[in-house]
Amino acid sequence: MTTVRTPAGWPATEEEARAVQDALRAKVVLDEPGPPPGTGHVTGVDVAYDDERDVVAAAAVVLDAATLDVVAESTALGRISFPYVPGLLAFREIPTVLAALEALPRPPGLVVCDGYGLAHPRRFGLAGHLGVLTGLPTIGVAKNPFTFTYDEPAAPRGSTSPLLAGTEEVGRALRTRDAVKPVFVSVGHRVSLDNACAHTLALAPAYRLPETTRKADALCRRALREAASALTVD
């Protein structure tokens, strides 16, 4: 496991963080289709927090996109690098997630975040932030629609409906299982929304959540438990 320090110059206030968002958001690429589903590698990233100890654990799990077998994984442990502020959660997670990605023994390919990309009040969630910093194609697949509205998709798997901020489509509600609550897909960087939805369906053959999220969630929680045990022993 990699241990991470908060980078020098990391934003310390809401004003500083919003200024960074504004600068980086202009670098998001929205006119590339992204890799075809079922090809190459796809990597899930997720984090788990221990607020009492001021610790965050991040995991990156690389899957073979065709078989969904795990081919590599890594974890990183760091201090929580920013206070909890809705809309600025990426600043709590990015340093540790970047460290987990950098520790992988092979290129991650498409990165799937348990969170948001354009479907964010400032149109720059974790998926966009991570994509711009790494240059990797990224998407966000969230469990809830944040503050946005949508009509229920039709019941069959694969059905979608627009996720809307007023009249602007910021993502899609996607049914990954028949008649089960949808997930909420948005573009991060260098992937089209159609392709992001196709990837999400390919990654969710049996469960509501994509295998990237399921595996990264389990790994970061395990890393956090192990870190807590070590801290207790020390």
pLDDT confidence of residue 53: 87
**Count of Cβ atoms closer than 10 Å to residue 144 Cβ:** 10
The residue assigned the tokens 């980086």 is 24
Q: Are strands 41-50 and 110-113 parallel, antiparallel or unpaired?
A: parallel
Predicted confidence at residue 231, as pLDDT, reads: 54
**pTM for the full model?**
0.94
Residues 155-165: pLDDT tens digits?
999 999 999 99
Beta carbons within 10 angstroms of residue 201's beta carbon: 19
Digit-by-digit pLDDT tens for the chain (234 residues) are 778 888 989 999 999 999 999 999 999 999 999 999 999 999 999 999 998 888 999 999 999 999 999 999 999 999 999 999 999 999 999 999 999 999 999 999 999 999 999 999 999 999 999 999 999 999 999 999 998 999 999 999 999 999 999 999 999 999 999 999 999 999 999 999 999 999 999 999 999 999 999 999 999 999 999 887 765 433
Label residue 196 exposed, middle or buried (CB < 10 Å: 0-12, 13-18, 19+): buried
3-class state of residue 25 by DSSP:
helix
Q: How far, in Å, CA of 158 to CA of 181, rounded?
A: 12
Inter-CA distances, 152 with 39, 169, 178, Å: 30, 15, 12
Q: Is 22 annotated as a binding residue?
A: no
Residue 227: per-residue pLDDT: 85
Closest among 149, 87, 98 to 122, alpha carbons compared: 87
Question: Which pLDDT score is estimated for 11?
Answer: 95
3-state secondary structure of 22: helix
Helix (H, G, I), strand (E, B) or coil at 178: coil
* Domains in the chain, CATH or no CATH each: 38-233 (3.30.2170.10)
pLDDT at 182: 98
217 annotated as a binding-site residue? no
Residue for token pair 């049914």: 175
From CA 88, how far away is CA 121, in angstroms rounded?
10
